[in-house]
Structure 1
């Protein structure tokens, strides 16, 4: 939590049971729960329930996503699902969340939703090229990607992939000194960066 707070500028609040929450102004950016590993995503929906790959649905107000306010520095700004079986994954997310699939550029898949009107990109999808890693990858918005990478290195973290321009925007990925990784996206205009339309 200290590593992510240092890189992303979160205000950290201790929660009951040894957990911590990271805040950007008045918005919750993430919660670190004692004993849990990796990112757990919570999607908005009509019925609260557990999903596959460390995700679930809640009926409360969605804090981040295509219909939420634009992401600020330190807030989640995109999610991407890495899979070895795209067709099976597409069928699962369509069935569970009502998402549709669309082709992004460079062959990347996009999940879209019309839950609140016109279809908007809600998540990316791609075949996993990382040995043994499948599931959700989380992106956080940063105002200055090079400065964020320098802060990560200065806090004994690792810049796993140097800044790179992709269809979503300028990204890099980092890993903390005790594990845990995420991607950083510079100055996204909205949820999904350049795909936000």
Structure 2
């Protein structure tokens, strides 16, 4: 079994028009944008990388920290290097990744590949936990498919900004086990979720 991954190394959004997409998410999430070599862009919150936006058609791709870089499944990867976001990282600020829900129909796969343990939260929600640094902490949710979450100070205000900029609010704001959330998408793709003022990685799950 590999050493348990303790969180998210980075996020990558693969879309047809990276510059226009990064401008949209920067306006909603408050990123500082840097143009990178090869036509990609990075979005930063202070000195922490929130996401990279590249040319392609794959949507959000998730890179977990680990010892052996490799592709996993369904747009997920392991990447070596310092974990920037997760249960042992600093509390997420507005615009930073703050949670991820992954396909939970194959618990054995995730336990084998990332060294996680499967657990059940109050209410029956599926969770994966990591014991990389001692006591187990929630590291990802288990659901029907991928969802990446970004922290915002005010979900309602963020949704209004999404609409102003030509994006789509799929659902919310609404209360969920993880906290107050909304599902949004940019005018050129990149569907994701917003989580209001999480006190740590996973919002309500940290308690």
Structure-to-structure mapping, 1:32-181, within 5 angstroms: 32-82=53-103, 86=105, 89-126=106-143, 128=144, 134=145, 136-181=146-191
Q: Is the 8 A contact 2:32 2:43 kept in 1?
A: yes
* 1:92-151 C-alpha deviation (Å, 9 max, x unpaired): 00000011111123322000010111100000012x3xxxxx4x2100000011110000
TM-score (norm 2): 0.87
| Secondary structure, counterpart of 2:55 in structure 1 | coil
Contact 1:45-1:59 at 8 Å conserved across structures: yes
**How far apart, CA to CA, are the structure 1 residues paired with 2:190 and 2:79?**
24
Q: Hey, what's the Cα distance between the residues in 1 that align with 2:58 and 2:79? A: 20
Does the 8 Å contact 2:130/2:136 carry over to 1? yes
C-alpha distance in structure 2 between counterparts of 1:125 and 1:193, whole Å: 15
Query: CA-to-partner distance for each residue in 1:4-58, whole Å, 9 max, x for gaps?
Result: 1111010111111110000001110000112252111111112222111111112
Contact 1:169–1:185 (CA under 8 A) maintained in structure 2: yes
Distance 1:111 1:79 in 2: 11
The structure whose RCO (Cα within 8 Å, separation 6+) is larger is 2
Q: Distance in 2 between matches of 1:37 and 1:4?
A: 17
2:42 to 14, 21, 26: 21
Q: Aligned Cα RMSD in Å? A: 1.1
Residue ranges of structure 2 left out of the alignment (5+ in a row): 1-21
User: TM-score of the superposition, structure 1-length normalised?
Assistant: 0.91
Is the 2:184–2:191 contact (alpha carbons within 8 Å) kept by the matching residues of 1? yes
Secondary structure of 1:70's counterpart equals coil
- Look up the SS of the partner of 2:191 in the other structure: strand
- Secondary structure at 2:198 match in 1: coil
CA distance in 2, matches of 1:181, 1:103: 26
Partners of 1:95 and 1:63 in 2: how far apart?
A: 22
